[in-house]
């Protein structure tokens, strides 16, 4: 359940006052989240996995960028954040979360692209850097150290990392202006018809193409609507042919390494193994 310190940070729960309603929220694979209703409104308490830093999460960066997006009406406002990064409290968004089918719907994708265009147009605050090359290397090092040269769970990682570095170098040469990106465009992180975006753990100031790359990595069918996505997000004419598919490949690699790293912490579930196998198949294919 919610530690007393975190619950006390919820408006209306200070000084030991009980919540009127408390409900666990589904979703997420590491953090735990709860909807809390008080006489001050509805809020979300999210308790953070201590190992999240290994996935590139910086809690100070997350709070800074989410608050910046919230001021533009794109995200829920964070009302309290633990200085040690153990939890935060945000507004609760009451809209309907998107479903997986929405991510292959041109009308929905056009809505999302317009919101991403708004996000990318914001003047970004100074934020701690997120270097994808460094993150890839850290994942590979942990996996390699645990498995050794005879790691039976997958192919050698060095050629994959080298290919990713080449793609990232090409993206850098394109010269797109760094801006705020959400970085985790999973369907359940999109709320309402706007949509507004939740779960800003992987938000960063970087190449705007990376938001679309993340989207296509999660939902390959969205890549069939590349022209719509680029136009709606303001990137039309700024992305060479093939670049989005290549950048999406990097995000497929990130997801694959994340699942490989899960083996270092727990025995993987059957769905995790199935997802890992699908990601490896995509890495081995074109793109």
pLDDT, mean of residues 251-280: 88
pLDDT, mean of residues 190-194: 93
Among the residue ranges 23-27, 85-89, 254-258, 278-282, the one predicted with the least confidence is 23-27
Classify each residue of 260-277 as buried b or exposed e, where b means 16 or more C-beta atoms within 10 Å of its C-beta: bbbbeeeebeeeeeeebe
**Is the predicted pLDDT of residue 287 greater than 50, yes or no?**
no
| Sign of CA pseudo-dihedral 279, 187, 111, 103 | positive
Q: What is the mean pLDDT of the chain?
A: 92
Look at the chain and count its residues.
287
Classify each residue of 25-37 as buried b or exposed e, where b means 16 or more C-beta atoms within 10 Å of its C-beta: eeeeeebebbbbb
Q: Given phi > 0 = left and psi -120 to 50 = alpha, else beta, which region is 56? A: left
Domains of the chain: 4-91 (3.30.200.20), 100-284 (3.90.1200.10)
| Residue bearing tokens 């699942």 | 259
pLDDT, mean of residues 128-139: 90
Quote the tokens at residue 38: 């008080």
Structure confidence at residue 50 (pLDDT): 78
pTM of the model: 0.92
Quote the tokens at residue 150: 């005879």
User: In angstroms, rounded to a whole number, what is the distance separating the alpha carbons of residues 65 and 121?
Assistant: 14
Structure confidence at residue 153 (pLDDT): 61
Structure confidence at residue 122 (pLDDT): 98
Cα-based distances in Å from 273 to 24, 153, 257: 26, 10, 12
Q: What is the percent of the chain with per-residue pLDDT over 90, rounded to a whole number? A: 77
Q: What is the pairing mode between strands 87-91 and 78-81?
A: antiparallel
Confidence of residue 155 (pLDDT cuts 50, 70, 90): confident
Between 65 and 143, the more confident residue is: 65
**Is the predicted pLDDT of residue 150 greater than 80, yes or no?**
no
Structure confidence at residue 53 (pLDDT): 75
Q: What is the DSSP letter of 189?
A: G
Quote the tokens at residue 80: 């309290």
Condensed to tens digits (0 to 9), the pLDDT of residues 82-102 reads 999 999 999 999 899 999 999
Condensed to tens digits (0 to 9), the pLDDT of residues 206-237 reads 999 999 999 999 999 999 999 999 999 999 99
Between 268 and 139, the more confident residue is: 139
Condensed to tens digits (0 to 9), the pLDDT of residues 99-123 reads 999 999 999 999 999 999 999 999 9
Structure confidence at residue 149 (pLDDT): 44
**Is the predicted pLDDT of residue 148 greater than 50, yes or no?**
no
């Amino acid at each position: 359940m919610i530690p007393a310190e975190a619950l006390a940070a919820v408006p209306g729960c200070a000084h030991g006052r009980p919540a009127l309603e408390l409900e666990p929220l589904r979703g997420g694979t590491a953090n735990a989240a709860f909807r809390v209703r008080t006489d001050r409104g509805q809020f979300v308490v999210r308790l953070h996995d201590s190992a999240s830093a290994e996935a590139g999460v910086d809690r100070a960066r997350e709070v800074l960028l989410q608050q910046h997006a919230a001021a533009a009406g794109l995200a829920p406002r964070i009302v309290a954040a633990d200085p040690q990064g153990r939890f935060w409290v945000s507004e609760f968004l009451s809209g309907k979360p998107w479903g997986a089918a929405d991510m292959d719907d041109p009308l929905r994708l056009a809505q999302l692209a317009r919101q991403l265009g708004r996000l990318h147009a914001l003047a970004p605050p100074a934020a701690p850097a997120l270097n994808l090359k460094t993150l890839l290397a850290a994942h590979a090092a942990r996996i390699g150290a645990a498995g050794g040269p005879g790691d039976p769970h997958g192919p050698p990682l060095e050629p994959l990392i080298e290919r990713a570095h080449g793609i990232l170098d090409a993206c850098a040469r394109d010269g797109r202006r760094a801006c705020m990106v959400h970085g985790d465009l999973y369907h359940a992180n999109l709320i309402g018809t706007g949509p507004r975006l939740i779960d800003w753990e992987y938000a960063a100031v970087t190449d705007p193409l990376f938001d679309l790359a993340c989207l296509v990595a999660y939902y390959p069918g969205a890549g069939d609507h590349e022209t719509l996505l680029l136009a709606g997000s303001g990137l039309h004419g700024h992305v060479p042919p093939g670049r989005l598919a290549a950048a999406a490949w990097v995000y497929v690699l990130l997801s694959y390494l994340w699942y490989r790293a899960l083996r270092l912490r727990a025995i993987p579930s059957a769905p995790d193994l199935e997802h890992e196998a699908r990601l490896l198949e995509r890495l081995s294919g074109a793109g």
